[in-house]
Structures are given as structure tokens and as C-alpha cells.
Amino acid sequence: DGRTWENRLTNENILLSSDIFIDGRDYLDLNSLRQISQQTGLNLSELELQLMLQAADRNGDARVDRHEFIRIM
């Protein structure tokens, strides 16, 4: 639809995506973001997922921890 991933996120999608932390994980990785994209119907491209991860990953460990997640939201 021509919008960037930032513009496609809604409050509902953000709340749904935060549920992934309930599975006992303290982080999101590329696979987690891919799963969230599918579950929320965003269906982001691989490039969009990679850009999202890079934008949120402050410490460069290829993961987004809870603090990084909250910071970007």
C-alpha cells in the first residue's frame, strides 16, 4: 500500500506484538518480528523487518529487548 512500516503500525498491532514477550522471551529477534508481522496482518517484507530490527536494536546484538522495544514505541 506504499506506506512505510512505521506508518502501518497501529496501537492494536503494537499491543498484539507485545504479547510475544509473554512466551518467556526477554527479546524479539528477526524471527519474532516475522511472526508478529504475520499474526497482525502487517505482512511486512523481509527488508522492512530488517530495517525495523536495525532501528530498534540500540546495542547491536540483533535482538530487541524490552527496554529497546519500549523506547521505539
pLDDT at 10: 62
Can you give the pLDDT at residue 69?
A: 79
Spatial contact of 56 and 64, defined as CB atoms under 8 Å apart: yes
pTM of structure: 0.68
Report the pLDDT value the prediction gives residue 6, as an integer from 0 to 100. Answer: 66
Q: Determine which helix (DSSP H) or strand (DSSP E) holds 5, and give its type and residue range.
A: helix 5-8
- Which pLDDT belongs to residue 66? 80
In a structure prediction context, what are the per-residue pLDDT tens digits for the chain, which is 73 residues long? 667 766 666 655 665 555 666 567 788 899 988 988 888 888 899 999 999 999 999 999 999 988 887 777 6
